[in-house]
Amino acid sequence: MIRTVLPALLLTALAAPLHAGSGKARSDYILRCAGCHGMTGEGTVEGGVPAFPGSVGAIAGVDAGRTYMMHVPGVVGASLGNAEIAAVMNYVLGEWSEGAAPFTEEEVARRRAVPVPDVVVLRRSVVEGLEADGIYVADYPWP
């Protein structure tokens, strides 16, 4: 009996988060982003993934930061449409920022079309600009 009950309980526990929160955007976050950023948005220094809390709102608050967000590897390789990416980004902003403007499908399309030859260099530039304004964001351990 344990052999049949245990797998059912495990599947129920894993599926439960998919039914809470903001529907499909939350599900897409769980399936496409949480593997690196985690369910709490904390990321991992060891994995080179910056935390969302205390950072993503500041980054989304500047023009270049919004472009950067459309070019992080998980977004570029997400195989989601522009509306779905906007929804996931808005889920992230809703969970881990205060007051950041939401993304629209049109903005996502426009920013994804901007050539970004090196996303790490772009992030460092965004962070330098924020720091010049006295705003500090999560560490980014990439070289």
Q: Which domain holds residue 57?
A: 17-132
CATH number where 107 lies? 1.10.760.10
Residue 38 inside a domain? The answer is yes
Query: What is the chain's pLDDT, residue by residue, as a tens digit (143 residues)?
Result: 445 444 443 334 444 443 344 699 999 999 999 999 999 999 988 888 999 999 999 999 999 999 999 999 889 888 999 999 999 999 999 999 988 999 999 999 999 999 999 999 999 999 999 999 999 998 887 76
> Using CA atoms, how far apart are residues 47 and 9, in angstroms rounded to an integer?
30
**Structure pTM?**
0.81
pLDDT of residue 140: 82
Residue 2 inside a domain? The answer is no
Q: How many domains does the chain have?
A: 1
Residue 143 inside a domain? The answer is no
Residue 96 inside a domain? The answer is yes
- Residue 108: which H helix or E strand, with range? helix 105-112
pLDDT of residue 104: 98
Residue 116 inside a domain? The answer is yes
- In eight-state DSSP terms, residue 52 is S
